[in-house]
Amino acid sequence: MRRDRRSFLQATGGAVALAAASGSSGAQAQGAMAPARRATGEQQAPKGLTYATIMTSGGYGLGIRTDKGVLDVRAAEAALKTGAPTTVDAVIRQDGDLAALSRLVEQARSGGDSAKYVVPEAQVKFGPG
């Protein structure tokens, strides 16, 4: 299975919005900040999630749009240790536990542990696209 942005977008039904850093140095910098864990076997990217690169106090990271705002996955992962990927590139490479993304979003929607990592969309600084 090809693991590039085009095949990733096609596999997720086009429901994904990417605001990823451009250029190889930006992608390499993002990848260097992400945990290097790779789950075993092929994973299915969660469907129906809108991904973006967001700027946080720790640098660029993965954001997922929710009905309450944008979930800062990097901050949620640092606190909750779910094994979720923390950059868009890590999602595309299938690094980490992709299913953990859905769990974090569900927790955020229901007011669970990850809810405190949701930033109102008007306050989000999106990464370069």
Structural domain containing residue 103: 5-126
Question: In terms of Cα–Cα distance, which of 104, 24, 23, 25 is closest to 62?
Answer: 104
**Predicted confidence band of residue 66 (pLDDT cuts 50, 70, 90):** very high
How buried is residue 42: exposed, middle or buried, by Cβ count under 10 Å (0-12/13-18/19+)?
Answer: exposed
pLDDT at 27: 38
Q: Which residue has the tokens 């901050």?
A: 75
Q: With b meaning 16 or more CB within 10 Å and e meaning fewer, what string describes 97-116? A: bbbbbbbbbebbeeeeebbe
pLDDT at residue 82 greater than cutoff 80: yes
**Rounded average pLDDT over 61-72:** 96
Number of domains in the chain: 1
pLDDT at 45: 80
Question: In terms of Cα–Cα distance, which of 125, 120, 102 is closest to 54?
Answer: 125
Single pTM value for the model: 0.69
The tens digit of pLDDT for each residue in 11-37 reads 544 443 433 333 333 433 344 344 445
User: What residues contact residue 87 under an 8 Å CB cut-off, 6+ apart?
Assistant: 30, 31, 33, 34, 53, 60, 61, 62, 74
